[in-house]
């Protein structure tokens, strides 16, 4: 009994201490470090003793996920606590709006010092940091340049992972003021492609080939047909110099892509010498075997895998060394006790699973993010949490730790209640996470998809092919066979679909408003760039914005266009098949309609109805965003918004009914000044509400007579608006 009381007193004094003194936070964050390459999380192929220390002295979160498995987006989710479609950074190459609410600014306001070193990759400069020093873009492994706070670049000779650790330690030791709590974000480039190790790790796997994952030779059967379109396979998408570290010209274009090793080009002569001494003899040996023809296709892939995985794991090793140095310093400086240390990485990575490197897909290996945390006195050493956590949770967690208020529009949840609960789920914790990947038409050719993951199952949706995919993670942890069609899983499938719909609602995901490119389709790509070019010729008297019905002014509507607009400066911005989200993309990304136009005629949305039976409310929001963009991009332009034309032969046509409802909503966007609205339905409908083929041959697109009616109907309004 006495012991118990003593324990309670100690425990409560630890808690009181923690409450009084706000903890420091060291957030060590790497790039592309998969959980399969952390020994504390079950790696079978490497040892990470220093990262493992966090697990021993703190907690691991096994069910830790990203919201969008790609670099910039993951970082934007972390900074804002919001999903990509809300924080606006959906794909690499987007520009992060650093004026929005981010946790660094908020903890700074709450009295924290904030520091950031290493990879950033959000294009805009960091905001909310007392000190920052970042890699430009992806950064380099050897002799990296860093952008300084005065925007100048500075080159550090040495190995990037070590340089970043040095800079972090230097700030801790020399630059911060000791009278305030701090958060330090130490963000490595490693082990990102092209996986360039430090010489001290060259011999790490000498004579010990790394074991291969079971799915290295995945045939991509029994899942979405889009799997086969990937361009991230070890068998086909490894580059001669860049990935495989051969020198000179690609001697085997039939086996390797051609791209030189740019890291090698950055090395000093001495670094090159050390590098060559290790790589060259091994390369020559392989090339000799390859030339002699004695290697089977399988053996070549196996060699590529070994080269890839060993370089990757060696790059990881330097990160682990860096974690060790930081933990040592915290011990020595007496900071360990009141400093929370977190290790994480922007997303996971394929280490040969499904035959891949890279990430992006919603499969476990890249959906997962490592999350290890040590918080002496609060988190029980050795805890292992099953709770589903996500990178949108980090911002609210940091805010709570700093004693700052958590804004109500943050979508993630603070993890602090879990930390205080021994990692066990609180009863109100989430039962599923939502994931969305948006990079259509990008490197590695992974399709847009989204989905949900519960503790036991995963559901994915591929809009391009309109395919569902579902996995029972207990029975099929490697996700080799979709069971969405299996009758035995019908109730689970229905439940997951409901969870998917509800979570999309919960997080405000409306694909009609999320800019989307169709750049993976050649025809679209070509027309789009043509339109972008045409739009530069402005100013215009009149511009038509829309889909195939608008594009048709160049087809069946050609002569009518000539008659009505031939003597005007008129521009057609219609692309067949476009939905609201594609027009939004065009108006933002390609800046179509950035030149002055007197009048913009907008008619869009029938494809949202036709392809997905999308909810009228959602489509209307897409139209509203388009109006907003035009208003913003081309001030003074008057907008003539047209109700979506009727479709389908009969008035009972379900898609037509959807359009009717959308029109009921969008008519309200007219303000009588900038935006004017007209519904032309009566021009195209017979008295009984049917459609005559003479007007719409396919009950969707207009005939020449149809275009005549369109032009005639809007002419008075156009004149009123100044045409
Ligand atoms: C680079 C890599 C890709 C990688 C992306 C995104 N190619 O483009 O393999 O998927 O970065 O990575 S490379 O030729 O530059 O190595 S991310 O981590 O920044 O999202
Ligand atoms: Ca990354």
Report which ligand 1 atom has the smallest distance to the Cα of 74.
20
Give the DSSP H or E segment for 286.
helix 269-292
**What's the whole-model pTM score?**
0.93
> What pLDDT score was predicted for residue 8?
43
Report which ligand 1 atom has the smallest distance to the Cα of 232.
9
Instruction: Answer whether residue 7 shows pLDDT above 80.
Output: no
Fold of 449-509: Arylsulfatase, C-terminal domain (3.30.1120)
Q: Is 192 in the pocket of ligand 1 (CB under 6 A)?
A: yes
> What pLDDT score was predicted for residue 596?
87
Report which ligand 1 atom has the smallest distance to the Cα of 31.
18
Q: Which ligand is nearest to the CA of 259?
A: 1
Tokens matching residue 661: 């409802």
Task: Let me know: does 544 contact 550? Beta carbons within 8 Å.
Answer: yes
CA distance 389 to 412: 9
Overall average pLDDT of the 601-612 stretch: 94
Overall average pLDDT of the 442-450 stretch: 96
Overall average pLDDT of the 689-703 stretch: 98
Indicate the DSSP class of residue 142: B
> What confidence tier does 11 reach under pLDDT thresholds 50, 70, 90?
very low
Instruction: Answer whether residue 15 shows pLDDT above 60.
Output: no
> What confidence tier does 20 reach under pLDDT thresholds 50, 70, 90?
low
Overall average pLDDT of the 687-702 stretch: 98
The tens digit of pLDDT for each residue in 35-44 reads 999 999 999 9
Q: Does domain 513-720 have CATH number 1.10.10.10?
A: no
Cβ atoms within 10 Å, residue 569: 14
Q: Please tell me the distance between residue 347's alpha carbon and the centre of ligand 2 in angstroms.
A: 6
Q: Please tell me the distance between residue 436's alpha carbon and the centre of ligand 2 in angstroms.
A: 16
HSE (side-chain half, CA atoms, 13 Å) at 115? 26
Q: Does domain 22-95+194-424 have CATH number 3.40.720.10?
A: yes
Q: Please tell me the distance between residue 193's alpha carbon and the centre of ligand 1 in angstroms.
A: 6
CA distance 441 to 611: 20
Q: Is 314 in the pocket of ligand 1 (CB under 6 A)?
A: no
Given the DSSP bridges, would you call strands 371-374 and 59-61 parallel, antiparallel or unpaired?
A: antiparallel
Report which ligand 1 atom has the smallest distance to the Cα of 444.
10
> What confidence tier does 382 reach under pLDDT thresholds 50, 70, 90?
very high
Overall average pLDDT of the 15-26 stretch: 71
Q: Is 443 in the pocket of ligand 1 (CB under 6 A)?
A: yes
Given the DSSP bridges, would you call strands 449-454 and 432-437 parallel, antiparallel or unpaired?
A: antiparallel
Overall average pLDDT of the 64-92 stretch: 98
Q: Which ligand is nearest to the CA of 34?
A: 2
Alpha-carbon Rg of the chain, whole angstroms?
A: 29
Ligand 1, pocket-test mutation among 192, 195, 312, 444, most atoms within 8 A of CB: 192
Q: Is 70 in the pocket of ligand 1 (CB under 6 A)?
A: yes
Instruction: Answer whether residue 128 shows pLDDT above 70.
Output: yes
> What pLDDT score was predicted for residue 13?
42
The protein residue with its alpha carbon nearest to ligand 1, atom 2, reads 193
The tens digit of pLDDT for each residue in 176-235 reads 999 999 999 999 999 999 999 999 999 999 999 999 999 999 999 999 999 999 999 999
Overall average pLDDT of the 28-47 stretch: 98
Share of the chain above pLDDT 90, in %: 94
The tens digit of pLDDT for each residue in 387-445 reads 999 999 999 999 999 999 999 999 999 999 999 999 999 999 999 999 999 998 899 99
Q: Please tell me the distance between residue 399's alpha carbon and the centre of ligand 2 in angstroms.
A: 24
Q: Please tell me the distance between residue 91's alpha carbon and the centre of ligand 2 in angstroms.
A: 12
3, 49, 54, 234, 411 from 324: Cα distances, Å = 35, 8, 10, 32, 33
Q: Is 358 in the pocket of ligand 1 (CB under 6 A)?
A: yes
CA distance 607 to 259: 41
Largest Cα separation within the chain, whole Å, is 98
Q: Please tell me the distance between residue 586's alpha carbon and the centre of ligand 1 in angstroms.
A: 25
Angle at 500 between CA 101 and CA 546, to 5 degrees: 75
Give one DSSP letter per residue of 662-698, joined into a string. Answer: HHHHHGGG--SSSEEEE--HHHHB-TTS-B-TTT-TT
Ligand 1, pocket-test mutation among 70, 89, 92, 244, most atoms within 8 A of CB: 92
Q: Which ligand is nearest to the CA of 445?
A: 1
Distance of alpha carbon 45 from the chain centroid = 28
6 vs 595, more confident: 595
CA nearest 326: which of 10, 27, 692, 647? Answer: 27
Q: Is 238 in the pocket of ligand 1 (CB under 6 A)?
A: no
Active site residue 548: yes
The tens digit of pLDDT for each residue in 110-125 reads 999 999 999 999 999 9
Q: Is 92 in the pocket of ligand 1 (CB under 6 A)?
A: yes
The protein residue with its alpha carbon nearest to ligand 1, atom 18, reads 71
Given the DSSP bridges, would you call strands 449-454 and 457-462 parallel, antiparallel or unpaired?
A: antiparallel
Q: Please tell me the distance between residue 137's alpha carbon and the centre of ligand 2 in angstroms.
A: 11
Q: Which ligand is nearest to the CA of 66?
A: 2
Q: Please tell me the distance between residue 92's alpha carbon and the centre of ligand 2 in angstroms.
A: 10
CA distance 390 to 59: 16
The protein residue with its alpha carbon nearest to ligand 1, atom 19, reads 71
Report which ligand 1 atom has the smallest distance to the Cα of 346.
18
Q: Is 71 in the pocket of ligand 1 (CB under 6 A)?
A: yes
Q: Which ligand is nearest to the CA of 195?
A: 1
The tens digit of pLDDT for each residue in 149-173 reads 999 999 999 999 999 999 999 999 9
Q: Which ligand is nearest to the CA of 346?
A: 2
CA distance 526 to 530: 6
Overall average pLDDT of the 281-288 stretch: 98
Overall average pLDDT of the 483-488 stretch: 98
Instruction: Answer whether residue 98 shows pLDDT above 80.
Output: yes
The domains spanning 22-95+194-424 and 449-509 adopt the same CATH topology: no
Q: Is 32 in the pocket of ligand 1 (CB under 6 A)?
A: yes
> What pLDDT score was predicted for residue 18?
44
The protein residue with its alpha carbon nearest to ligand 1, atom 10, reads 358
Instruction: Answer whether residue 452 shows pLDDT above 80.
Output: yes
CA distance 119 to 133: 9
Give the DSSP H or E segment for 26.
strand 24-30
CA distance 250 to 244: 11
Q: Please tell me the distance between residue 120's alpha carbon and the centre of ligand 2 in angstroms.
A: 10
Number of residues in the chain: 723
CA nearest 40: which of 320, 359, 348, 315? Answer: 320
Report which ligand 1 atom has the smallest distance to the Cα of 121.
19
Angle between helix axes 616-633 and 654-666 (nearest 10 degrees) is: 50
Report which ligand 1 atom has the smallest distance to the Cα of 347.
18
> What pLDDT score was predicted for residue 16?
43
The protein residue with its alpha carbon nearest to ligand 1, atom 20, reads 71
Catalytic residue among 235, 548, 594, 681: 548
Q: Please tell me the distance between residue 709's alpha carbon and the centre of ligand 2 in angstroms.
A: 54
Ligand 1, pocket-test mutation among 68, 94, 443, 446, most atoms within 8 A of CB: 443
Q: Please tell me the distance between residue 398's alpha carbon and the centre of ligand 1 in angstroms.
A: 28
Ligand 1, pocket-test mutation among 123, 193, 195, most atoms within 8 A of CB: 193
Tokens matching residue 29: 């964050």
> What confidence tier does 590 reach under pLDDT thresholds 50, 70, 90?
confident
> What pLDDT score was predicted for residue 475?
98
Tokens matching residue 480: 């080799």
Catalytic residue among 33, 83, 449, 701: 701
Instruction: Answer whether residue 287 shows pLDDT above 80.
Output: yes
Q: Is 232 in the pocket of ligand 1 (CB under 6 A)?
A: no
Q: Is the dihedral of CA 207, 208, 210, 212 positive or negative?
A: positive
Judged by phi (left if over 0) then psi (alpha if -120 to 50, else beta), residue 422 lies in left
Q: Please tell me the distance between residue 277's alpha carbon and the centre of ligand 1 in angstroms.
A: 27
Tokens matching residue 414: 């603070």
CA nearest 589: which of 679, 656, 529? Answer: 529
Q: Which ligand is nearest to the CA of 366?
A: 2
Break the chain into its structural domains and give their ranges: 22-95+194-424, 449-509, 513-720
Per-chain mean pLDDT for the chain: 96
547 vs 13, more confident: 547
Q: Is 75 in the pocket of ligand 1 (CB under 6 A)?
A: no
């Amino acid at each position: 009994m006495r012991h118990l009381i003593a324990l309670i007193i100690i425990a409560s004094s630890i808690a009181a201490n923690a409450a009084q003194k706000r903890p420091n936070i060291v957030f060590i964050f790497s790039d592309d470090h998969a959980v399969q390459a952390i020994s504390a999380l079950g790696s079978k192929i490497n040892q990470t003793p220093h990262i493992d220390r966090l697990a021993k002295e703190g907690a691991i979160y096994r069910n830790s996920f990203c919201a969008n498995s790609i670099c910039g987006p993951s970082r934007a989710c972390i900074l804002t606590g919001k999903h990509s479609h809300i924080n606006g950074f959906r794909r690499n190459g987007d520009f992060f709006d650093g004026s929005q609410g981010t946790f660094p600014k908020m903890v700074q306001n709450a009295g924290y010092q904030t520091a950031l070193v290493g990879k950033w990759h959000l294009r805009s400069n960091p905001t909310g940091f007392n000190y920052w020093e970042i890699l430009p873009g992806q950064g380099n492994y050897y002799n990296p340049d860093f952008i300084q706070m005065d925007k100048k670049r500075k080159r550090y000779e040495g190995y990037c992972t070590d340089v970043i650790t040095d800079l972090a330690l230097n700030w801790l030791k020399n630059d911060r003021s000791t009278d305030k709590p701090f958060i330090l974000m130490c963000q490595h480039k490693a082990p990102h492609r092209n996986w360039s190790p430090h010489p001290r790790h060259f011999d790490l796997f000498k004579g010990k080939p790394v074991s291969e994952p079971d799915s290295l030779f995945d045939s991509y059967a029994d899942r979405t047909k889009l799997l086969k379109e990937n361009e991230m396979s070890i068998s086909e998408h490894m580059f001669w110099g860049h990935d495989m570290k051969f020198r000179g010209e690609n001697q085997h274009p039939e086996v390797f892509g051609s791209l030189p090793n740019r890291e090698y080009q950055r090395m000093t002569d001495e670094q090159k010498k050390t590098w060559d001494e290790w790589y060259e003899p091994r390369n020559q040996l392989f090339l000799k075997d390859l030339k002699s023809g004695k290697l089977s296709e399988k053996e070549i892939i196996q060699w590529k895998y070994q080269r890839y995985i060993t370089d990757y794991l060696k790059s990881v090793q330097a990160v682990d060394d860096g974690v060790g140095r930081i933990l040592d310093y915290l011990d020595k400086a007496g900071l360990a006790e009141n400093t929370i240390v977190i290790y994480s990485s922007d997303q996971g990575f394929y280490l040969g699973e499904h035959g891949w490197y890279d990430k992006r897909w919603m499969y476990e290996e890249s959906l997962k993010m490592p999350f290890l945390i040590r918080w002496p006195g609060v988190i029980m050493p050795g805890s292992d949490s099953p709770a589903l956590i996500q990178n949108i949770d980090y911002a609210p967690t940091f805010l709570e730790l700093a004693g700052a208020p958590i804004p109500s529009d943050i979508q993630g949840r603070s993890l602090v209640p879990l930390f205080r609960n021994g990692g066990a789920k609180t009863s109100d914790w989430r039962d599923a996470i939502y994931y969305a990947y948006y990079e259509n038409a990008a490197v590695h050719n992974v399709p847009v998809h989204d989905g949900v993951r519960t503790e036991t199952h995963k559901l994915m949706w591929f809009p391009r092919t309109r395919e569902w995919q579902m996995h029972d993670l207990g029975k099929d942890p490697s996700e080799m066979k979709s069971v969405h069609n299996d009758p035995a899983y019908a109730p689970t499938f229905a439940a997951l679909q409901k969870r998917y719909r509800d979570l999309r609602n919960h997080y405000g995901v409306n694909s009609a408003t999320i800019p989307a490119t169709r750049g993976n389709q050649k025809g679209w790509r070509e027309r789009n760039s043509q339109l972008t070019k045409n739009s530069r010729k402005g100013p215009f008297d009149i511009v038509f914005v829309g889909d195939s019905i608008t594009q048709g002014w160049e087809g069946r509507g050609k002569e009518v266009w000539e008659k009505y607009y031939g003597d005007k400066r008129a521009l057609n911005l219609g692309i067949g098949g476009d939905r609201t989200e594609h027009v939004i993309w065009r108006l933002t990304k390609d800046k179509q309609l950035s030149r002055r136009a007197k009048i913009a005629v907008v008619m869009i949305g029938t494809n949202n109805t036709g392809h997905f039976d999308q909810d009228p409310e959602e489509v209307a929001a897409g139209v509203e965003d388009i109006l907003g963009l035009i208003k913003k991009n081309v001030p003074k332009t008057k907008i003539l918004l047209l109700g979506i034309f009727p479709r389908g032969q009969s008035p009972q046509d379900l898609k037509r009914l959807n359009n009717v409802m959308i029109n009921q909503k969008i008519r309200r966007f007219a303000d009588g000044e900038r935006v004017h609205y007209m519904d032309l339905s009566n021009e195209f409908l017979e008295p009984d509400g049917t459609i005559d083929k003479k007007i719409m041959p396919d009950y969707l697109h207009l005939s020449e007579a149809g275009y005549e009616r369109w032009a005639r109907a809007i002419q008075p309004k156009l004149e009123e608006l100044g045409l």
